[in-house]
Structure 1
């Protein structure tokens, strides 16, 4: 499942369907869902990416 806001993304629903992913939209005007995507992107960028690059440089992983 992928959780997105209500921004227009051309062909995104079709791509998700082809990948077998459920596309879930946040409700308009509902602040409960806001910021979740930004938090996960920040986590990936600050935690996962540097560790992955270190492991790649050490030859411990070759593919994600």
Structure 2
């Protein structure tokens, strides 16, 4: 606190530098195209996993019925 009181202009400079360094990371608008693309990809991957699981279940049923 002592440094803040004795050098307020230094603190102001530090705050301004921090704001400049973080301004590129924050985005006020949502990128709906990117969200849509990632959602479609996740849906495709989950669909493939579901198909694989169904194939395993069908194979297990065949093996049980052949016993």
TM-score, length-scaled by structure 2: 0.31
In our comparison, the structure showing a higher alpha carbon Rg is: 2
More strand by share: 1
More helix by share: 2
Q: Which has the higher contact order (CA 8 A, sep 6+)?
A: 1
